[in-house]
Structure 1
Amino acid sequence: MRSHLGVRLSYEAKYMLEYIQTVIQEKLDSKMNKEDVDDLEKAIKLYLKDIDNELGATSVTLILKSSASSVLEEAFYKTKSFSLEDWHKIDTEMKKSISSIPKDKDVGTLSVRFFLENSIITGLENYQKTFMTSEMVRQVRLSYVIKLLIYAYYKEIMQLQ
C-alpha cells in the first residue's frame, strides 16, 4: 500500500533529487523505444486477458517516467544495508560537498509530495530515531533523513557519470 508524504526539502536536496530524476529519465528515454513500450502494453493486455477473458477489453496506456517518489524509493533500497558508521561518513561528506551544488538553478517548489510504499515511510521514520546522537533532545528531521538518502544516491550517480 502507498501513502502520500509531504516534506519541505532544502534547496540542495531538491537540486540533487531533480538531478537524479533527470539522469534516470534521460537513460530511460535512450534505452526504451516505442516498440519496447508497445511490447509492454501488449504483455499487460495479455496478462489481463489471462486473468479474465473479458479484461481483454481493457485499454492499456503505459507512460514510463522517473519521479521524485521513484528516486527516493530507489535511494532507500540502495542504502538499506548501510551501517550507522556508513551514515556518519555520508553525513560528513555531504556537509563538505554541499557547497559545490550550484545555487542559481531553478528547482521549483521545495515542498515535495512523495507517494511511497508504507514500508518506506516507516523506514524513513525509523531513520529519524536511528540518526539521533546522545546529545540530541529531538529526533532528526525527516527532511534531513531524506536529504542524506538522496545525497548517497546522488554520489553514486555522479561517480557513474
Structure 2
Amino acid sequence: MLISGRNKKGLSEREIQNCLWAWELLSGPTHIELVTSEASQHNSRTRFSENKNVVYLGADVKPGNGIEANSRMSILACLAHELAHAQRFKSGFQRPIELPDVLIDEAETSLHASFMSVLGLKDREDLIEDARDRLNQWLSSPKGVNK
C-alpha cells in the first residue's frame, strides 16, 4: 500500500490488540497469520508477504491526514486490502511487483477487498476510490499510456 499519507507512529499495545480483533473478524477461518512484531515501530508497513504467506501489521494500518482515499482508509479497510492480497495469492494469482503494473494489482486488490461482507459503506467507498486512484496513476504513467 502507499504509505505517504498514512500514519507513521508506532502502534500501542491496545491498538495492536484492536487490530488483532479486526483481523479475526475479517479473516475468519482462513488461517492467514497477522504478524505484529513490527507494529510498534515508527514507519513500519502493513503488507502481505508471499514468501511467508503472512500479513505484517505496521504503523500505517491507521489512517493519516491526507485527503486521498488511501490516506483515509480505516484500519478495517486496510486490513481487508491485505487479506485480499493473501486470498488472491492463495487462488494462484501472481502479482506484478514493478511499476506501473503493480498499480493495477493494487487496484484489483482494493476492489476485491471492497466486497468483504463485514465492511460498511464508507470502507467500501474508500477502497473503490483507492482502486480508481491507482488506475488513474497507471493510466498517466508512461508505460500505461503506450500499452
| TM interval, short-chain normalised | under 0.3
TM-score by length of 1: 0.26
Rg larger in structure: 1
TM-score by length of 2: 0.28
User: 1 or 2, which has the higher helix percentage?
Assistant: 1
